[in-house]
Amino acid sequence: MQQVAAGDPADQELRQRLVDGDETALARVYDLYFPLVYRLAVRVTGDWAAAEDVVQEVFAHLWQRPEAFDPGRGPADLAGDADPPHGGGLDTA
């Protein structure tokens, strides 16, 4: 799995492509961040199946509101703004 640094120009480009409705950009973001978002979801929910639902919600939310994604915050930005089925985002702070 290749990961780009938060705030990297490649992340900024991905964000712009998402805003432009580029489905391949969503696939790329999913490939880059799925493992991190999933691990966080498992840790927060304590349930693997619930974590899968959360991850699905996170990436659906990203597709619906790509302009809200701040690549400078990295993967935490993806998880923190979702509305997973178990209430609230995944922000742990």
CATH number, domain at 26? 1.10.1740.10
Residue 89 placed within a domain: no
Q: What is the DSSP letter of 22?
A: -
Is residue 92 in some structural domain? no
Domain count for the chain, please give it: 1
In a domain, 55, yes or no: yes
Please state the pTM of the whole predicted model: 0.73
CA atoms of 29 and 14, how far apart (whole Å): 7
For 47-90, what is each residue's pLDDT tens digit? 999 999 999 999 999 999 999 888 887 666 776 655 544 444 55
Q: Which of 32, 24, 26 is nearest to 8 (CA)?
A: 32
Residue 46's region, left for phi above 0, alpha for psi from -120 to 50, else beta, is: left
